[in-house]
């Protein structure tokens, strides 16, 4: 009884979808690779701010444009994750693929109110953003590890649209 079930399990392909533009196995492999890269790239708040002070660094906020306009870390550039394409990333980040890119998301804030409503931890935007940036060829990604209060003046919280460009 166990053998027929095992045979049936092995006979089912991992990704039966015939769409050549969707590669779940490739995504799973990328996720495994990023897991190893990400661990040493998690920064406490002081290290995040210090790295952000580098004139070549870019703080990238991948939340929606509306939430970004409601509030973000000063100096951040907004490119919503849903808008990530090779072209959009190149425009926001600039020509240097090794540019330090610092990311944060809703789950880095203790306020748990608009514009940073708490998300389910395993679906935090930081995870998806990190994977996507590395997948698009930007290996120098650094992520805010800490949970901070956006009302703390040290955070540098501001409102309004980002300044044009990110270069």
- pLDDT per residue rounded down to tens, the chain (167 residues): 544 544 444 444 565 668 899 999 999 999 999 999 999 999 999 999 999 999 999 999 999 999 999 999 999 999 999 999 999 999 999 999 999 999 999 999 999 999 999 999 999 999 999 999 999 999 999 999 999 999 999 999 999 776 544 44
In tens, the pLDDT along 90-138 reads: 999 999 999 999 999 999 999 999 999 999 999 999 999 999 999 999 9
Among all chains, which residue has been given the structure tokens 């492999």? 29
Q: Which of 46, 122, 60, 56 is CA-nearest to residue 88?
A: 60
Prediction pTM value: 0.85
**CB–CB of 152/110 below 8 Å?**
no
Token pair belonging to 151? 């009302």
Tokens at 98, concatenated:
């090794």
Of 118, 119, 125, give the one whose Cα is nearest residue 150: 118
> Omega before 115 cis (within 30°)?
yes
């Amino acid at each position: 009884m166990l053998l027929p079930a095992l045979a049936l399990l092995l006979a089912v392909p991992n990704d039966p979808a015939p769409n050549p533009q969707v590669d779940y196995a490739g995504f799973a492999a990328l996720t495994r690779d990023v897991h190893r890269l990400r661990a040493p790239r998690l920064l406490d708040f002081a290290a995040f701010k210090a790295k952000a002070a580098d004139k070549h660094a870019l703080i990238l906020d991948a939340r929606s444009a509306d939430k970004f306009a409601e509030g973000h870390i000063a100096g951040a550039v907004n490119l919503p994750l849903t808008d990530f394409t090779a072209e959009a990333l190149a425009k926001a980040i600039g020509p240097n693929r090794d540019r330090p890119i610092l990311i944060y998301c809703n789950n880095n804030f203790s306020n748990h109110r608009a514009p940073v409503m708490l998300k389910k931890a395993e679906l935090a935007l930081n995870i998806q953003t990190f994977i996507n940036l590395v997948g698009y060829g930007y290996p120098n990604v650094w992520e805010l590890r800490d949970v901070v209060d956006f009302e703390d003046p040290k955070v540098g919280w501001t409102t309004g649209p980002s300044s044009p460009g990110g270069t």
